Chains A and B, each alone.
Chain A
Amino acid sequence: MMIYAVMTLSVTGFLAGLGLMYASKKFHVEKDERIAEVNSMLPAANCGGCGYPGCMALAEAIVKGKAPVNACPVCSKEETKMIAAYLGLSVSASVRRIARVRCNGGCENGIEKYNYYGPRDCHSVVMLGGGNKVCTYACVGEGSCVKSCAFGAMRMGKDKIPVIAPEKCTACGACVKACPRDLITLLPEDKPIVVVCRSKDKGPDVKKACKVGCIGCKMCEKKCPVGAIDVDSFLAVIDPSVCTVCGICVEVCPTHAICDLKKTKI
């Protein structure tokens, strides 16, 4: 009787093994060994900052040449160089970028429209009567961006405006996507002069809503020596590729909407 038991098991096992052998040949997936190697050099944060779904996908794109070697915003220069050396590629120099919050209308500066008691999520606030602030461009301060940050580089400031720790920010862009008001932008680290306002309302309307909003007075546009500032629909926009960080616009701005983020913390 025992022979039956042994035979049943071994024959079933053998047949299953045979079937799997055939299947593994039929459904064989070609895998480049370098993909796993590059993946191990990436930070494994899976933040999606490069635009690919996770580090594995980026590793595949880099190996296949679809993405540049320095596509990972989280990698340090040394790590990027390591990957480039492994693949025998050269890296082009790129300036580090960090996320900048472009609103300063917190509890102190911005005027509130109503008290919000709902789900603690920016998107919910924005859906309710255009947000809890008079300014419809303002940060609503529920911290969806803070929750999205996988690197602990963000925290909610005292006046309910998120604060970014520049040394921890990796420019992955998660907070940029998380903000329903599109208030966070990735800007070059060496150009810290930023218009900390996104309001396209006319001057008087901005003044009613916020103490530190851009009223579109064009003072900065006139005084900028290199013409880096352009006022479009009552909002000043600095072109970081032209800006020389002279600081004149910061001084002339009557509402202090332009800040040097290296000197002032907002």
Chain B
Amino acid sequence: MSLFLLFVSAVLVNNFVLARFLGICPFFGVSKKVETAIGMGLAVTFVMAVAGIITWIIQYAVLDRLGVGYLQTIVFILVIAALVQFVEMVIEKVSPDLYQSLGIFLPLITTNCAILGAAIINIQSGFSFVQMLVFTIGSALGFTLALVLFSGIRERIELSDIPFYFRGLPVAFITAGILALAFMGFSGLVK
């Protein structure tokens, strides 16, 4: 599979949120405004890319050599948690506004299954280092894309006249379902 196809597949066809249904928590939590959605997307992109690189190296350089592959999940989580702490510190220093608007969802990237999912899919698919890079960055961009698209839609929904019992999250869930249906149109584009 060429790298370009791998990238398209990660962004659109196997979109983390809308096709694999990973990382739903921030997808609903931080998608009220486009600005915060972009900030969250960038934070996730950074964590995902760095976590992908480090976990890939750890898997092949440490876990496989020592024959302790069963530690994969716990070691990966450890690495991701440390990385998220690091990103949190950097964001607090660089952009306090973004730090406040991301709020609780920033530490929650730690338990964002999209990140662990990406790291594990990298290993399971037996990607080479370059393939792994393309795949993780692609999936992170796909996550950002889904988040930004959804927040744009939600900003419009805020202004429309919605039946009382559908206001807020219910209509957001329905919208997300329709958005996922729309993304199903990409399936079959890349095998």
Interface residues of A (CB under 8 A from B): 1, 4-5, 8-9, 12-13, 16-17, 19-20, 23-24, 27-29, 53-54, 56, 118-121, 124
Q: State whether A4 touches B92 (Cβ < 8 A).
A: no
CA of A5 to CA of B73, assembled, Å: 13
Q: State whether B89 touches A8 (Cβ < 8 A).
A: no
Q: State whether A9 touches B161 (Cβ < 8 A).
A: no
Q: Is the interface of B mostly helix, strand, loop or mixed?
A: helix
Q: Is the interface of A mostly helix, strand, loop or mixed?
A: helix
- Chain B positions within 8 Å of A119 at CB level: 159-161
Q: State whether A8 touches B62 (Cβ < 8 A).
A: yes
User: Shortest beta-carbon distance, B84 to chain A, in Å?
Assistant: 10
Q: State whether B82 touches A16 (Cβ < 8 A).
A: yes
Decide yes or no: A19 and B159 within 8 Å by CB, A4-B67, A8-B75, A27-B93 being known contacts.
Answer: no
Q: State whether B63 touches A8 (Cβ < 8 A).
A: yes
CA of A13 to CA of B159, assembled, Å: 48
Q: State whether A1 touches B67 (Cβ < 8 A).
A: yes
- Chain A positions within 8 Å of B79 at CB level: 12, 16
Partner of A19, one of B86, B90, B96: B86
Interface-central residue, B63, B67, B82, B85, by most chain A CB under 10 Å:
B82
Q: State whether B82 touches A20 (Cβ < 8 A).
A: yes
Leading 3 A-B pairs by shortest Cβ distance: A16-B82, A27-B93, A4-B66
Q: State whether A23 touches B161 (Cβ < 8 A).
A: no
Interface 1/0 per residue, B50-87 and A, CB below 8 Å = 00000000100011001110010011001101100110
